[in-house]
Amino acid sequence: MIIIVDKINKTYKNGSLELQVLKNISFKVEKGEFLAIMGSSGSGKSTMMNILGCLDNQYEGRYMLDGIDISKSTENELSEIRNKKIGFIFQSFNLLPRLTALENVELPLVYSSVPKEERHKRANELLEMVGLKDRTHHRPNELSGGQRQRVAIARALVNNPSIILADEPTGNLDSKSEEEIIEILQKLNKMGKTIVIVTHEPNIGEIAQRKIVFKDGEII
């Protein structure tokens, strides 16, 4: 098992307001699996994904990732795990507008001080893999939504993570771009990557090996 979450509880606290959004969530993901998380808006899917992605460590319960007890890890350990093991894809792409596609993809490698030539080579290979060989010097506003998301996928892959987490990656895309993104995710899964995707699209739910459905912070 690459992911084991055991009795996760999460409550958002804003002043005197408290909202429990995850209630005793437990599930497992096998290495190489393609898992879809579905469920209506506000049911706690993104909250769960942020925990899985080590973006949030304010919760109760246990989270084991590739044998590491994430729920006991320090901030420094979490950021290292995030960089090495996880590729995160967001609905809103989260690209830096002033940087070209190539520079966006390279950025995580700049932070880890990889030499320039090696960075270029790796980023170019990944952009080619997502079908953007001829768009490497374009900025995000010169790309379509689907192309932006493909840049974001290339960036998520740059440190060769074993797990891809995608939170509604096609939520802002037309159906043709959506198909392209799904094809890329399927290809990555065939290459051995573990994929956890949050989606409303029934057709992605069909492609996934397994579905779990959230409702009001619980798995139904």
Q: Which is nearer to ligand ADP, 12 or 111 (CB)?
A: 12
Q: Which is nearer to Mg ion, 46 or 189 (CB)?
A: 46
Per partner kind, with CB cut-offs from 5 to 8 A, the member of Mg ion, ligand ADP, none near residue 153 is none
By CB under 5 A, residue 46 contacts Mg ion: yes
Taking the complex as a whole, the smallest distance from the CB of residue 200 to Mg ion amounts, in Å, to: 10
The reply to whether 41 sits near ligand ADP by the rule CB under 6 A is yes
Q: Coil, strand, or helix at residue 20?
A: strand
Count other Cβ atoms within 10 Å, centred on residue 83.
16
Q: Is 170 in the site for Mg ion (CB under 5 A)?
A: no
199 lines the binding site for Mg ion (CB under 5 A): no
Classify residue 91 as exposed, middle or buried by CB count within 10 Å of its CB (0-12, 13-18, 19+): middle
Give per-residue burial for 119-136: e unless 16+ CB within 10 Å, then b. bbebbbebbebbebeebb
Smallest distance, Å, CB 44 to ligand ADP?
Answer: 4
Strand order in the sheet with 163-167: 86-90, 163-167, 194-198, 34-39, 210-215, 218-219
Binding mask 4-23 for ligand ADP (x = CB under 6 A): --------x-x----x-x--
Q: Which residue from 45, 119, 135, 155 is in contact with ligand ADP, where contact means CB under 6 A?
A: 45
The SS3 call for residue 122 is helix
Q: Which two tokens stand for residue 76?
A: 């420094």
List interacting residues with Mg ion (CB under 5 A): 45-46
